[in-house]
Structure 1
Amino acid sequence: MYLGLDLGTSGLKGVLIDDAQRIVAEATTPLSVSRPHSGWSEQVPADWLSAAGNVIDAIAAECDMASVRAIGLSGHMHGATLLDASGNVLRPCILWNDTRAYAQAAQMDADPKWREITGNIVFPGFTAPKIAWVRAQEPDIYAQIDKVLLPKDYLRLWLTGEAVSEMSDAAGTSWLDTGARDWSDTLLAETGLSRSAMPRLVEGSAPSGTLRAELQSRWGFGSNVIVAGGGGDNAASAVGVGVVRPGEAFVSLGTSGVLFAACEAYRPDAASAVHTFCHALPDTWHQMGVILSATDSLNWYAGLTGTDAATLSGELGDLTGPGSALFLPYLGGERTPHNDARIRGALTGIEHATDRPAGTRAVMEGVAYAVRDSFDALRATGTEIDTLIAVGGGSRSNYWLRLIATVLDLPIQVPAEGDFGAAFGAARLAMMAAGDGGPDIATRPDIARVVAPQPELHDDFMAAHARYRDTYQALKDLT
């Protein structure tokens, strides 16, 4: 059997699969995010270890862990987990959706070598500008940095005692030469670091170490349990749903929103604000547009209205066209296509007739328009999408999927019952790392249904999308 662990922003999930890739056990432990200042987003790494322990405890209570051959890891990207020479955490991890380092990111991005080497804009949420912020604002902490780890790789350190990362996650730091799949000594030096502060790199489907004896005995694992390189959350999700070939893509409606497309070669276009990263498989890359607040926007609105997201979605009927209210989902800035850390969200066009369901529709429409922005940005780089599959908690809303399908004018496939997300993808990577032949990585899950667009509404939604873009520009002019 093979265990996949996914460190998400709101919770850590584990799935255990057998040799036929059937899920035989799963468990989740929630996590919270601290936001001490506007634009800040942090977590305490010790909470990740507690959550991982709880998840494995729950799975071990159901299953005999002695037959587990390998563990795969996935997690939210870009986080700055800072360790001293004794391995102690120096401060809370600065997360992917933290935008405090916007000034440092802009300064780095103004130097052409960052885009030339990484293939990407230096976004405020990436790891390197966060270290530059710490250097400027917390010099005492900066002076103690011995290792910089990404969140899932701190889990790996706990599991194996090894400081290791893999290509897909490392590509989101702004320190990786993405074409060469190696750390850039030039860019590390720009933040006062050297290669010694970085974890060793492996491919996502390769072994990165073995489980420590202490943890092996704690849960009854057998000997020599391999821990695979794994992948950043989106690359691991792509492996989970078999999005590994050109033309294949998925749309993820999680805390953030992602439009992810596999690529046959390294083809960066940094100016588009499209992310061009290594995939979790050797010699493959991917491109994606990223929305910082997808279900996060709906959860915000649910809190505002004193209910929950499932209730809000359940109040909606059929898709009938755009409403008068317009929502911009920039609760903590935006990445694709704006690269704008300081922009904030807005709810406009409200009137006496705007009730709670109308507000829900506006929020969902705003996220759908943001997905359309990423779709247009991907196409502008030459990346075409032939098939699109939905993942993430928001994909449980048929209304939201039909809305996005209509805005993109593209059918969306919905997997059959089961979890094919990042934890499942991590488990598949574990199968490959174990050297047991591994799965056919291009195998797609069974499709339960296809959500078709409503072509008669497409032009109306595109007109509303144009209004959305104009509203963004007006809002930007005010900030």
Structure 2
Amino acid sequence: MGLFVGLDVGTQSVKLVAYDPDSRQIVASAGQPLDLAAGDDGSREQSADWWVDAVRACFGRIDPALRARVVAIGVSGQQHGFVPLDRSGSVLAPAKLWCDTSTSAECDEIMAAAGGARRCIELAGNPILAGYTASKLPWTRKHRSQAYAKLATIALPHDYINYWLTGELWMEHGDASGTGWLDVRTRAWSPAMLAATDPDRDLGACLPPLVDAATLVKIKPALADELGLPHAVQVSAGGGDNMMAAIGTGNVVPGVLSMSLGTSGTLFTYADHPVVDDDGRWAAFCDSTGGWLPLICTMNCTVATEAVGKLCGFSTKEGDALLAGTRPGADGLLMLPFLNGERTPDLPNGRGNLFGMTASNLTPANLYRAAMEGALYSLKNGYDALVDAGLRFEAIRLTGGGSQSLVWRQMAADMFGLPVDVPEQAEGAAFGAALQALWAVQRSGGDADLSALAAAHVRLDPRLATHPHAEATAAYAPVYQRFLSHLDAIRPLYAG
């Protein structure tokens, strides 16, 4: 059948995988790191050119003979980013990213204009949280007025890469639901939420058309020549990184819980109907298969462990080894690891907090463990909301960089009291993008069952399976309650 390429345009890097569905093997992969422009005001930005250059570099590392066999490309992109384009398709300003909290005031302004957070949920299924695309528009109007005046098209990161590949602009429902403007119940834009964002401008006219998840568009011939690809290569609809990771972990039927441990932490599950919470305890997103994807997102996961490693002068791989001599609860040391502000819980102005320090427990090993535990406690806080809503899970499917760490796997299994499985393909988002492209091509030739395709191609690695230890699960329970108590105590400090 040829090869199917998945591209994941993340925050830290761009990753490429080339998948052979006949042999069911990744036959080539490449990655390219990305810079991040960070400001003290919480801003986190990247140049769209950096993504393009990184994609070029990744293709350049793939054998020309393999590039000549590519049939289709799927693109996964970090969600919520804002790429402003003028009428010619040129980028007007740096892209503000999902982890940008400089627009938290604009979140409040939009929700106030719409009638409050609950009214936003009634209108579109979600409140406007820190990082969502909607808040970046009024911020740009205030701080980059010339760019806002020239704005003709609002693109998300994966939309922009699709545009670079094909010359065409579109959005698909999964990534679009992360803007804050999509009514996830009807899968259509909410005029009221667009008007609350800017009452003086028709933002709907700036949004690309919404397309079906199985859409295919041909690559630009000149770009195909540049990248060494056939002119017949097609680009699938693609989607947000969480939506693609859902496909890449086989999370396309109800009952599967995926956990991604990367820069951010996420939990998500498939639903065949909109799953909206009146209190906004989770993101009520669409997925990139025609279904829905209730999702928990934290903004501080490996960010916290990497910061501790940097502070103490060791790598995260060395940090895992350090934990061999520690116990659940880090000897009383407790971290709320909100280094980038936080989305779950909703504390965009939050900062990291360290509690329970004594002369004996303040060691690099305990500090590293407290960071790791704090990141998972934040995810468990969101998980509890999903369970409260009646959702039930038998196991966790783990992806992201943390999935390759036995310490992360065991801690997740123990803390959640669930077995942890790890797909063979560690790059869940890139692999999911490749599978979406494969599904779209198969569907263009007739019916194609995505759940059957995922069952056939998403394989679990039995060597990485991890089971909870009852003693550790019991030990984490009171520490988690302490985490929740400290969370309640610090909320007023960062409420404004």
- Contact 1:101-1:124 within 8 A present in 2 as well: yes
Structure 2 residue 189 is the aligned partner of structure 1 residue 183: yes
Matched residues, number: 474
Q: Distance in 1 between matches of 2:214 and 2:305?
A: 35
Secondary structure at the aligned position of 1:263 is classed as coil
Q: Distance in 2 between matches of 1:161 and 1:4?
A: 19
Q: Distance in 1 between matches of 2:347 and 2:97?
A: 17
Q: What's the % identity of the aligned pairs? A: 33
CA-to-aligned-CA distance 1:313-372 (integer Å, 9 cap, x gap): 122217732121111111112122x21111111122222222111111111111121121
CA-to-aligned-CA distance 1:118-158 (integer Å, 9 cap, x gap): 21121021001110211233322211111110011111111
Which of 432, 443, 446 is equivalent to 2:460?
446
Q: Distance in 1 between matches of 2:125 and 2:389?
A: 12
Q: Distance in 1 between matches of 2:13 and 2:41?
A: 22
Secondary structure at the aligned position of 2:422 is classed as strand
Query: What's 2:143 paired with?
Result: 137
Which of 72, 89, 92 is equivalent to 1:90?
92
Which of 42, 60, 65 is equivalent to 1:39?
42
Which of 57, 77, 80 is equivalent to 2:79?
77
Query: What's 2:126 paired with?
Result: 120
Taking the TM superposition and a 5 Å limit, the aligned residue runs for 1:262-411 are: 262-282=270-290, 284-317=291-324, 320-323=327-330, 324-336=332-344, 338-353=345-360, 354-411=362-419
Q: Distance in 1 between matches of 2:460 and 2:478?
A: 35
Query: What's 2:176 paired with?
Result: 170
Which of 459, 464, 471 is equivalent to 2:479?
464
Secondary structure at the aligned position of 1:69 is classed as strand
Q: Which amino acid is 2:303 matched to?
A: D
- Contact 1:4-1:427 within 8 A present in 2 as well: yes
Which of 10, 13, 17 is equivalent to 1:11?
13
Q: Distance in 1 between matches of 2:405 and 2:420?
A: 12
Secondary structure at the aligned position of 2:269 is classed as strand
Query: What's 1:108 paired with?
Result: 110
Q: Which amino acid is 1:151 matched to?
A: P
CA-to-aligned-CA distance 1:370-420 (integer Å, 9 cap, x gap): 12101101112222222311101012221122112111111111234x335
CA-to-aligned-CA distance 1:408-437 (integer Å, 9 cap, x gap): 111111234x33511110001111222357
Q: Which amino acid is 2:25 matched to?
A: R
- Contact 1:185-1:194 within 8 A present in 2 as well: no
Q: Rate the CA distance shift 1:477–1:184 in 2: closer, same or farther, 3 A.
A: closer
- Contact 2:14-2:34 within 8 A present in 1 as well: yes
Tell me the C-alpha RMSD between the 2 structures: 1.7
- Contact 1:34-1:41 within 8 A present in 2 as well: yes
Scaled by the length of structure 1, what TM-score is found?
0.95
Q: Rate the CA distance shift 1:460–1:19 in 2: closer, same or farther, 3 A.
A: closer
Q: Which amino acid is 1:314 matched to?
A: A
| Mean CA deviation greater in 422-431 or 313-322 | 313-322
Structure 2 residue 213 is the aligned partner of structure 1 residue 204: yes
Secondary structure at the aligned position of 1:215 is classed as helix
- Contact 1:2-1:16 within 8 A present in 2 as well: yes
- Contact 1:108-1:129 within 8 A present in 2 as well: yes
- Contact 1:109-1:115 within 8 A present in 2 as well: no
* Structure 1 runs not aligned, ≥5 long: none
Q: Which amino acid is 2:453 matched to?
A: I
The alpha-carbon deviation at position 305 of structure 1 amounts to 1.4
Q: Distance in 1 between matches of 2:301 and 2:414?
A: 17
Secondary structure at the aligned position of 2:465 is classed as strand
Q: Distance in 2 between matches of 1:4 and 1:160?
A: 15
Q: Which amino acid is 1:203 matched to?
A: D
The alpha-carbon deviation at position 295 of structure 1 amounts to 0.6
Secondary structure at the aligned position of 1:172 is classed as helix
The alpha-carbon deviation at position 455 of structure 1 amounts to 1.3
Q: Rate the CA distance shift 1:406–1:272 in 2: closer, same or farther, 3 A.
A: farther
Q: Rate the CA distance shift 1:467–1:420 in 2: closer, same or farther, 3 A.
A: same
The alpha-carbon deviation at position 66 of structure 1 amounts to 2.6
Q: Which amino acid is 1:331 matched to?
A: L
Taking the TM superposition and a 5 Å limit, the aligned residue runs for 1:49-60 are: 49-59=52-62
Scaled by the length of structure 2, what TM-score is found?
0.92
- Contact 1:84-1:90 within 8 A present in 2 as well: yes
Q: Rate the CA distance shift 1:419–1:365 in 2: closer, same or farther, 3 A.
A: closer
CA-to-aligned-CA distance 1:10-44 (integer Å, 9 cap, x gap): 00000111132321111000001111223111111
Q: Rate the CA distance shift 1:129–1:150 in 2: closer, same or farther, 3 A.
A: same
| Mean CA deviation greater in 66-75 or 456-465 | 456-465
The alpha-carbon deviation at position 270 of structure 1 amounts to 4.5
- Contact 1:124-1:130 within 8 A present in 2 as well: no
Q: Which amino acid is 1:262 matched to?
A: Y
- Contact 2:17-2:29 within 8 A present in 1 as well: yes
- Contact 2:6-2:73 within 8 A present in 1 as well: yes
Consecutive aligned runs of 4 or more in structure 1 exceeding 4 Å deviation: 436-439
The alpha-carbon deviation at position 445 of structure 1 amounts to 1.4
Q: Which amino acid is 2:321 matched to?
A: G
CA-to-aligned-CA distance 1:255-296 (integer Å, 9 cap, x gap): 0000111112112114142011111102x1011111101011
The alpha-carbon deviation at position 188 of structure 1 amounts to 2.2
Q: Rate the CA distance shift 1:32–1:194 in 2: closer, same or farther, 3 A.
A: same
Secondary structure at the aligned position of 2:279 is classed as helix
Query: What's 1:256 paired with?
Result: 264
Q: Distance in 2 between matches of 1:314 and 1:335?
A: 30
Secondary structure at the aligned position of 2:270 is classed as strand
Q: Distance in 2 between matches of 1:320 and 1:306?
A: 22
Secondary structure at the aligned position of 1:122 is classed as coil
Query: What's 1:473 paired with?
Result: 488
